[in-house]
Amino acid sequence: MNRKALEDLIQVCKSDSELLEIIEDALRSFEEYHTAIYSMEIRKRILSGTVDVQTYQEEIGNMDQQRTSRHNAVIANISVLNRLAEQSGLPPVYDGVISRDQPYRRQIADAVLNYVRDIILERP
């Protein structure tokens, strides 16, 4: 993630509340994806050995679908952020390949998760 481009995009759009809302929604999708991963991993630990295999597979399967849906939203939102950056004359917010195919899907996930982690670690 090009954090400078993202911060510059926010500054460029300061006077347009609709664009700021689009940016904020896109960034919130990063945390929603992070939460979906974390929730699923915690649930796996809780369910392991406490429920039958079918129940485990059904519940984790449902959670994995939710995680995949959030991941797809992140991919779409990165495309939106990149288009906004381009329209504003800024470099891309994410300069990797934006695709739902592997390995790009995983690279986007890693970039987004690192961005979320950094934002949390840098809070005052």
User: What pLDDT was estimated at residue 39?
Assistant: 97
- Check pLDDT > 90 for residue 10: yes
Average pLDDT over residues 48-70: 96
Q: What is the mean pLDDT of residues 58-82?
A: 97
pLDDT of amino acid 64:
98
Tokens 């005052």: give the residue: 124
* pLDDT for the residue numbered 124: 87
Domain limits, the chain: 3-121
What fold is seen in the domain 3-121? Helix Hairpins (1.10.287)
Q: What angle (nearest 5°) sits at the alpha carbon of residue 75, between those of residues 72 and 77? A: 110
> Model confidence at 41, in pLDDT bands (50, 70, 90)?
very high
Proportion of the chain above pLDDT 90, given as a percent: 96
pTM attached to this predicted model: 0.92
**Long-range residue pairs from 20-28, CB within 8 A, at least 24 positions apart, any chain:** 22/80, 22/84, 23/81, 23/84, 25/77, 26/77, 26/78, 26/80, 26/81, 27/77
Alpha-helical regions (H) of the chain: 3-12, 17-47, 53-87, 104-121
Percent of the chain whose pLDDT exceeds 70:
100
